[in-house]
Amino acid sequence: MSQQSQLPPLIGALDRASEWLGRTLSWLIIIMMLIQFLIVLLRYVFSINSIFMQELVMYMHAAVFMLAAGYTFRHDGHVRVDIFYRKMSPRRQALINLVGILALLMPVMVFIIATSMGYVSMSWQILETSSDYGGIPAVFVLKTMIPLFAVLMLLQGAVEVVRNMYILTGRIAPPSEDEGHLEERI
């Protein structure tokens, strides 16, 4: 039985949604690469420049980076200074994760939401557009990714709080080495 199916239904659904979003957004990387190739080809072979296409790559990069952060967190793929953590027992790791999420991740994400809402709402009020002629007329959508990133991280943080509490109490087994780490699967 998978860890996901042992979690409460709402938490499992959030976990599956994070997995789906991350896998779906990963396709943007291929699209981004193709558009970037086209930008270079058009510029250096045909002397054609497209601000719209350049900004499109930037928007897709922002979407992948900001909206798939919860997926990366789910797979323990973020940078971690690992001096003592790796040698700890799974329960102690779960405790460290729990404290880190509650004391660091969640307050920072709430701060990001609180401080970005005025910035984002002002952008929506004026329907902010690109400052470059021919650019994407939707800077307000790009800026919306800031609080959305924080909300998605909070949701995945809640999933990880429950997962780590279940590991601490012995309700689920800790993830195996090859199951939980993104860098080992690449």
Residue 157 confidence (pLDDT) above 70: yes
Q: What share of the chain is helix, strand, coil (3-state, %, to 5)?
A: 75, 0, 25
Closest CA to 153 of 73, 80, 62, 59: 73
CA atoms within 13 A on the CB side of 74: 26
Bin 170: left if φ > 0, else alpha if -120 < ψ < 50, else beta. left
pLDDT value of residue 84: 83
Q: Given pLDDT bands bounded at 50, 70 and 90, which one contains residue 107?
A: very high
> Taking residues 112-120, what's their average pLDDT?
96
